[in-house]
Amino acid sequence: MNTIKKLVLTGLLAAIGAASAYAQQRPGAVVLMTESGTFEPQTVYVAPGDIVVWQNNDAFWHSVKTDTQGFGPESDLVFRYGMPPSSYYWWRVPFNTRSGSVIYYHCKFHGVPGSGQGYTYGYGFGMVGRIVVQ
């Protein structure tokens, strides 16, 4: 494991640890941004209060942007110009999110949003993913 990977992993665990200590919640899911320009896995299943972590494992920049304006993950809040290689971003599913909600998102560089309203309106296309709240 090289130093950068170690640093990223340490940071990742620290972020999850800090957030977990704050709310006593488990990390819900880790999504990788891959060299084929996809979110892997494309669908993650989480509970309200869970943390979703996106890790950019690609050589290119990516982003996480909710299809539902004002609700959902928004990596631009942390990485204004996109997520560089080896960076990660995390977002907590709000505790009051309704079970059955599906939060669609896309990469602003490689995907287009669907008409997501926080429920099942469907994917956009390109580099897209979704969070299913159980």
Please give the residue ranges that form the binding site for Cu ion (CB under 5 A): 62, 107, 109-110, 127
Residue 5 contacts by C-beta under 8 Å, 6 or more apart in sequence? 86
Q: Smallest gap, in angstroms, from Cβ of residue 63 to Cu ion?
A: 6
DSSP letters spanning 20-48: HHHH---EEEEEEE-TTS-EESSEEEE-T
Q: Which residue is nearest to Cu ion (CB)?
A: 107
Which one, 16 or 107, has the nearer CB to Cu ion? 107
Which one, 110 or 130, has the nearer CB to Cu ion? 110
C-beta of residue 89 within 8 angstroms of C-beta of residue 65: no
Q: Smallest gap, in angstroms, from Cβ of residue 60 to Cu ion?
A: 7
